[in-house]
Amino acid sequence: MSQLFPGAVVEPVELTEANGTVCIRTAGASDVENLSVYFTGLSTTSRNKRFSGARADPGVVAAECIAKSGGLDNFTLLAELREEGRSMIIGEARYAYDAAARHGEFAISVADAFQRMGLGLQMMTAMETRAIDLGHEMIAGETARTNAEMRGLAKKVGFNDTGLGDWHSVHLAKRLSR
């Protein structure tokens, strides 16, 4: 994909707002610490939305994300901002395939300071492309009914409300096609 950014899953993009380049790539074992720093830096609101209010140690969550990303059907994508020789994680998307349900499930977050710049959209698109390459036919996810950002993003990339949610959450799904 890119000589400059090995492991990139889409072409790196210039982020004018941040004066740097964003690379979306697959996470690996060496990312645990930086991912933990990233989760710690999320606002309480964003962290609650990302983890559905569950209280968790960011270090443990980061280690779990990476550990579960080893197999072919599970991966974590990171959006990494590179500027002036330094790099920083500014977004992550986790994907796990549920063989019994025959669909992939996702969770995503973007650092507060970088929200509403198109990164969520790019990561969702990269995740779908990877899922299609794996031969998967459907992606599903759940979010709080009150989560306008996630509902807006999901709608924009073509997810529909399956009606399987409850009073608190919406269940969203999208059929994938090549």
Ligand X SMILES: CC(C)(COP(=O)(O)OP(=O)(O)OC[C@H]1O[C@@H](n2cnc3c(N)ncnc32)[C@H](O)[C@@H]1OP(=O)(O)O)[C@@H](O)C(=O)NCCC(=O)NCCS
Chain contacts with ligand X (rule: CB under 6 A): 46, 49-50, 107-110, 115-121, 143, 147-150, 152-153, 156
Distance of closest approach, residue 142 Cβ to ligand X, in angstroms: 8
176: left (phi over 0), alpha (psi -120 to 50) or beta: beta
* Shortest reach from residue 95's CB to ligand X, in Å: 11
Instruction: Give min distance, CB of 114 to ligand X, in A.
Output: 7
Q: Least CB distance from residue 5 to ligand X, whole Å? A: 19
Helices 32-41/58-67 angle, 10° precision: 140
Distance CA 126, CA 83 (A): 22
Count of alpha carbons within 13 Å of 13, Cβ hemisphere only?
Answer: 14
DSSP string, 92-125: EEEEEEETTTTEEEEEEEE-GGGTTSSHHHHHHH
Tokens of 88: 């920083």
Shortest Å, Cβ 126 to ligand X: 12
Token pair recorded at residue 31: 């990312």
